[in-house]
């Protein structure tokens, strides 16, 4: 998989990481998804378990996990070295955390799987989920949590980051905002020999909208609330969690 086809933040990695560093530092509130992730981990955690965060960015999910699990052994991986260096600096004093550069389209830790693996807000930004999900599960010993966009239908979206297009009308720079049909997504996982459980996404609308209103100067539009839905640009976000366990 060519990096040009999915590494949409490679040319401007600060566009995303600067806000997540503010979460690590406490200058921005904890994400609603972080709160639910900690609850999901709490429901399954047993003493001695380790955890792998795939697509960790600067480690902002770890900040929330540490409030409940100060000594849980954690590894965070991301395809962007810029993010990993920032994560290492942010958690330099955390002796139970390690960060490495890993590409989700390549094997992660198939020879040393983790008890709990999670990947949040990553798959929607990729051209396809099948190889990434296979790699996640090959590195999972017991439980995997995935948060992504799932709906009644598949909608593949290339959202331009600037108004420049090739001769066929394809955007030259874009990011994916893909929603996959729920059954297609879960059936693929179950054919690999795993069991899936869909868990509704839980969030406080006011918290998301307040952050959107307070950060309108950000380089991308961000998430806002429209009615009862989260919205990014023109895309209604049908967020869902998938809990994956051995059949």
Statement: residue 6 has pLDDT above 90: no
| The pLDDT of residue 16 | 62
Length of the chain: 247
* Helix, strand, coil shares, percent, the chain, to 5: 30, 30, 40
**How is the chain split into domains, by residue range?**
3-203+237-246
| The pLDDT of residue 8 | 59
* Residue 145, CA atoms < 13 Å, CB-side half-sphere: 27
Q: How far is the C-alpha of 198 from the C-alpha of 184, rounded, in Å? A: 13
Statement: residue 3 has pLDDT above 50: no
Statement: residue 215 has pLDDT above 80: no
Contact 52, 117 (CB under 8 A): yes
Placement of tokens 């799932």 in the chain: 150
Per-residue pLDDT tens over the stretch 103-142: 999 999 999 999 999 999 999 999 999 999 999 999 999 9
| Predicted model pTM | 0.91
Give mean pLDDT, residues 171-194. 95
| The pLDDT of residue 9 | 58
Topology of domain 3-203+237-246 in CATH is: Rossmann fold (3.40.50)
| The pLDDT of residue 217 | 53
Q: How far is the C-alpha of 225 from the C-alpha of 231, rounded, in Å? A: 6
Per-residue pLDDT tens over the stretch 12-71: 666 666 778 888 888 778 888 999 999 999 999 999 999 999 999 999 999 999 999 999
User: In the structure, what pLDDT confidence band is assigned to residue 4 with cuts at 50, 70 and 90?
Assistant: very low
Percentage of residues in the chain having pLDDT higher than 90? 67
Statement: residue 218 has pLDDT above 50: yes
* pLDDT greater at residue 152 or residue 211: 152
Write phi, then psi, for 243 (nearest 5 degrees). -95, 125
CB atoms within 10 A of CB 145: 22
Give mean pLDDT, residues 217-236. 76
Q: How far is the C-alpha of 144 from the C-alpha of 94, rounded, in Å? A: 24
Per-residue pLDDT tens over the stretch 186-203: 999 999 999 999 999 988
Partners of 139 in the β-ladder: none
């Amino acid at each position: 998989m060519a990096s040009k086809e999915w590494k949409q933040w490679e040319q401007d990695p600060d566009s995303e990481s600067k806000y997540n560093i503010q979460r690590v530092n406490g200058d921005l509130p904890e994400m609603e998804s972080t709160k639910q992730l900690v609850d999901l981990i709490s429901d399954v955690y047993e003493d001695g378990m380790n955890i792998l965060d795939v697509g960790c960015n600067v480690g902002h999910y770890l900040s929330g996990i540490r409030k409940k699990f100060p000594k849980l052994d954690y590894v965070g991986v991301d395809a962007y070295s810029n993010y990993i260096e920032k994560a290492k600096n942010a958690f330099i004093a955390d002796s139970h955390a390690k960060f490495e550069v890993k590409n989700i389209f390549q094997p992660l830790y198939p020879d040393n799987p983790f008890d709990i693996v999670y990947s949040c807000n990553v798959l929607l930004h990729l051209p396809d989920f099948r190889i990434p999900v296979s790699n996640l599960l090959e590195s999972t010993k017991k439980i995997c949590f995935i948060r992504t966009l799932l709906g009644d239908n598949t909608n593949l979206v290339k959202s331009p980051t600037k108004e420049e297009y090739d001769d066929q009308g394809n955007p030259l720079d874009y990011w994916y905002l893909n929603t996959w049909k729920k059954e297609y997504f879960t059936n693929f996982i179950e054919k690999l020999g795993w069991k899936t459980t869909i868990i509704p996404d839980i969030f406080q609308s006011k918290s998301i909208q307040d952050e959107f209103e307070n950060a309108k100067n950000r380089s991308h539009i961000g998430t806002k609330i429209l009615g009862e839905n989260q919205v990014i640009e023109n895309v209604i976000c049908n967020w869902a969690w998938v809990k994956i366990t051995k059949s």
